[in-house]
Structure 1
Amino acid sequence: MKAVIIRGYGSTDVLQYEDWMQPQIKPDQILVKVHASSVNPADWKIRKGMLSVLTGRNFPLILGFDVAGEVVSVGSQVTRFKAGDAIYGSTSFPGGAYAEFAAIPENLAAPKPANLSYEEAATVPLAALTALQALRDLGNIQAGQTVLINGAAGGVGIFAVQIAKALETEVTGVCSTKNLDFVKSLGADSVVDYTQQDFTTESTKYDIIFDTVAKRAFSTCREVLKPNGIYVTTLPTPEVLIQGLLTMFLPGQKAKLVVERPNSQDLIYLKDLIEAGKIRAVIDRTFSLQELAAAHAYSESERAVGKIAIAIN
């Protein structure tokens, strides 16, 4: 099969498109012919060595977490899938999706949403699961609450806005001037242009602030959090780790860090929302597998609106 391999950490130059051996599946895995994947910041952070404390130096590596494709064969313990099924899901850490075939644990996959293309479906898993788990599991989101999404036009932000609206909350999206109408089209009740306004100095207070882009610290958001409000971020900074521990044991406002946990149950939950028309995928650009270096560079530029898809087969 063709795959993109890295043999060391570094710039986009370490991404090498070449022939590689097809993966052998374990009893609890499915072999998937990968039709599409996507780029998440975690992918290029691993490539650059920013997460080497977790990934070590176990090369060569195939990166990529998001997969949409067709089941080719199943392991002896697999009961929910058969050859020919269209699925979407996640690879195990630290990746394996940037290839023509991938071995996926059964419990990290679900049937592909019927109303999405493979490219669209491949943009969903990591970003939408992060948004869902941040809001539902950490934020304890409830209908009628006020929710602010910082980075509302980004990969996680687009899903956070839509999930928060699907769960019947009042949503404020923070984005740049050029994306105000786009974020409104996702369902946001109001929008804040961060180039013109600082939401942390406004009078509105929120039940949940989800900083999808890790740009605003808990300490700067406290004034606009309600007394029992919850702040969630995607980046494990020293401040959020310390504040998370402190607020865990104290009444009042909480600071929390979301670490996405891929699982088939949540993928099925998202599939139902997507098929009901409550969530849509948004693709900024689609690159081929051979163009993965350019896709990584575009993701690192932080200019993408929505997700970056990778077309493979």
Structure 2
Amino acid sequence: MSAAASAPQGMFDCRDAYVAALEDMATTDDRIVAVVNDSVGSSKLGKFRDRFPDRLVNVGIAEQNMVSVGAGLANGGKVPFVSGAGCFLTARAMEQIKVDCGYSQANVKLCGISSGVAYGELGATHHSIEDVAWLRAIDKLTVIVPADPWQTDAAIRAAAAHDGPVYVRISRMPVPALDRDDTPFAIGRAETLRDGGDVAIIASGTLVHRAIAAADLLAGEGVAARVVNMATVSPIDAAALAAAAATGAIVTAEEGLAHGGLGGAVAEWCARHAPVPMRMLGFPGFLPTGSADWLMERFGLTASGIAAAVRDVLGQRAAR
């Protein structure tokens, strides 16, 4: 829970960007509604409830009902944002996500709050590290993992405009606002934050700013690392992957399972189209109890951990 405390200066809780975008859209579009599983507080939707009391449905601790209610609202012409802790939203309601949203192509926006290991000390039951791997396997379900508050805002607006089911993974772990150009966000399009021809680091969510820091460390060693923010995991940006593979080596980094998640998606594409040496950084499975920061450090999901993986993959490439 420690990550939910007030963010350090210069760091941001992406839930704030999520609710600000939702409230702003709701002022001009009466189709926007929120559906929650007794999670008004953790989703930070208190002000939305107060401003639009008839447009927030609280089903209680009933995630399967929550997703089905969202699908029903979508079938009635609404644009529902179904919001709950990522671990419970995806695990408990997987059949409803698959059938009521994916198979039925309902216009539901699933918002996984406090994803990854943000709940820290509450342990594996509250960690949401499998969600991207699970949901990436559902046909025609868009999966977005924003990296900072600007991208969270843009992803929520893009999800609302997209016709079909979308999962947006919203972090509560503090992240900085990234330096970027004025390229607008688009579903299915990656963002190159650093150019480099020696290796590509492909990251998502809370690992993107760490990937940039790793690239800065490596630059001091004469290694030019390309950093790609792959916010949309499904559908994935094939052109960005081709450019990354052209460097000759790839490291992926994510706050979740690499097998099946972003790492799996990149590896699948490379195996089919452009095989290169790879390292996939993520969590190995059920995790010990500890703070989010401790877990990230222990499993190498830090700037130094990413830089070490880059050195390793470059060594492998040199030995070939």
Provide the TM-score with structure 2 as the length reference: 0.29
TM-score normalised per structure 1: 0.30
Name the structure with the higher strand share. 1
